[in-house]
């Protein structure tokens, strides 16, 4: 069980405590999921095969996976070979049950499958000893690269760019809109845990807020809209430098549509 009282440093100056532990676990999951979508599982089908192996409670055969995933056995075998070569799956021979060569079985490499479970356990322990705001702040602080951004940003746009870079650094595909007033995020590495642990979204919000605060510019986080579209979130920003010259009110548009004689009826 964690005692949440903030992070400290050991004799070598390394961060310790709940924030550091959660930050490291979140990074491990990010690395796993990034690998799942790149070198380890370079296609949607390979990702499906990997997830099939990972979700099984016991070793599976190529034929079992082909049946459960509704894929051709040769397709599954090719992806399994690639997953074995890249170190994400371990292959071994099953105990022979008759004449002929024994069947091959597959399991996820030791350590890989446990990271999500470990992260969930850590989040559960942390939330049992502190409120979600504190947990989010401590974990987000462990992610922020303060030495890299020690100097104030050169304007609000650079501050937003730093926030985008921070989100990409923790596994998101992130980009700012043309006005620099919002950041769109997709490819969340933690999707499987969000429903049970929405504090993960709060950690990302704290990360953006902290990076913007460190930048020292008149731009701040207004809020994060989670899954505004399936698989996509949006961080809404407030910028003091984004002031329009004037705004056309909606009632003026209605009057224009109703013609020059339009007037309000009391």
Per residue in 123-152, pLDDT tens? 888 888 888 888 888 888 877 766 565 689
Same-domain status, 184 and 253: yes
Domain-embedded: residue 215: yes
What is the CATH classification number for the domain harbouring 89?
1.10.10.10
CATH of the domain at 206: 3.30.980
With a cut of 60, say whether residue 12 has pLDDT above it: no
What is the domain range of residue 49? 8-108
Shared-domain flag, residues 158 and 94? no
Q: Does 75 share its domain with 183?
A: no
Q: Are residues 177 and 232 in the same domain?
A: yes
Residue 221 CB partners (closer than 8 Å, separation 6+): 205, 208, 209, 212, 235, 236, 237, 238
Give the end of a domain, one of 48, 77, 108: 108
Instruction: Express as a percent the part of the chain with pLDDT over 90.
Output: 32
Q: What is the pLDDT of residue 58?
A: 87
The larger pLDDT score, comparing residue 56 to residue 6, is at 56
* Residue 82 confidence (pLDDT): 84
Whether the per-residue pLDDT at 34 is higher than 70: the answer is: no
Whether 183 and 265 map to the same domain: the answer is: yes
Q: For residue 72, what pLDDT is reported?
A: 93
pLDDT tens digits, 101-126: 778 999 987 755 566 677 778 888 88
> How many domains is the chain built from?
2
Both 58 and 167 in one domain: the answer is no
pLDDT confidence tier of residue 39, bands split at 50, 70 and 90 = very low
* Structural domain contains residue 165: yes
pLDDT at res. 121: 80
Residue 24 lies inside a defined structural domain of this protein: yes
- Does any domain span residue 174? yes
Query: Residue 148 falls within a domain, yes or no?
Result: no
- Whether residue 201 is contained in a domain is answered as yes
pLDDT surpasses 70 at 44: no
Residues 157 and 104 in one domain: no
Residue where one domain finishes, among candidates 54, 84, 108: 108
Write the DSSP string, the chain.
----S--EE-TTS-EESHHHHHHHHHHHHHHHHHHHTTTS--SHHHHHHHHHHHH-SS-EEHHHHHHHHT--HHHHHHHHHHHHHTTSEEEEEPPP-SSSPPPEEEEEPTTTTHHHHHHHHHHHHHHHHS-HHHHHHHHHHHH--TTTT-SPPSSHHHHHHHHHHHHHHTT-EEEE-TTSSEEEEE--TTHHHHTT-THHHHHHHHHHHHHHHHHTSSEEEEEEEEEEETTEEEEEEEETT---S----HHHHHHHHT-TT-----
167 and 99 co-located in one domain: no
Give the residue from 46, 74, 108 where a domain finishes. Answer: 108
Chain segment 150-209, per-residue pLDDT in tens: 689 999 999 999 999 999 888 788 999 999 999 999 877 777 678 888 888 999 999 999
User: Residue 132 falls within a domain, yes or no?
Assistant: no
| Percentage of the chain lying above the pLDDT 70 cut | 73
Asked, for residue 141, whether it belongs to a domain, the answer is no
Sign of the Cα pseudo-torsion (57, 61, 64, 66, in order): positive
pLDDT band at 30 (very low <50, low <70, confident <90, very high): low
């Amino acid at each position: 069980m964690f005692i949440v009282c903030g992070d400290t440093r050991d004799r070598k100056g390394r961060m310790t405590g709940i924030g550091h532990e959660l930050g490291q676990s979140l990074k491990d999951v990010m690395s796993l999921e990034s690998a799942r979508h790149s070198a380890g599982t370079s296609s949607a089908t390979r990702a499906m095969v990997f997830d099939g192996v990972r979700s099984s409670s016991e070793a599976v055969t190529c034929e079992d996976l082909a049946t459960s995933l509704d894929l051709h056995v040769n397709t599954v075998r090719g992806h399994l070979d690639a997953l074995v070569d890249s170190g994400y799956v371990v292959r071994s021979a099953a105990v022979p049950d008759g004449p002929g060569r024994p069947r091959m079985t597959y399991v996820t490499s030791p350590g890989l499958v446990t990271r999500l479970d470990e992260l969930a356990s850590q989040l559960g322990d942390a939330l049992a000893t502190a409120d979600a705001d504190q947990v989010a702040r401590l974990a987000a602080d462990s992610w922020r690269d303060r030495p890299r951004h020690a100097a104030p940003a050169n304007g609000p746009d650079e501050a937003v760019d730093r926030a985008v870079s921070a989100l990409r650094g923790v596994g998101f595909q992130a980009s700012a809109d043309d006005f620099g007033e919002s950041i769109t995020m997709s490819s969340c590495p933690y999707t499987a845990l969000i429903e049970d642990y929405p504090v993960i979204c709060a950690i990302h919000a704290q990360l953006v807020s902290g990076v913007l605060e460190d930048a020292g510019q008149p731009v701040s986080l207004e809020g994060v809209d989670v899954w505004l579209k399936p698989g996509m979130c949006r961080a809404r920003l407030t910028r003091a430098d984004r002031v329009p010259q004037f705004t056309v009110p909606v009632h003026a548009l209605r009057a224009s549509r109703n013609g020059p004689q339009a007037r309000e009826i009391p």
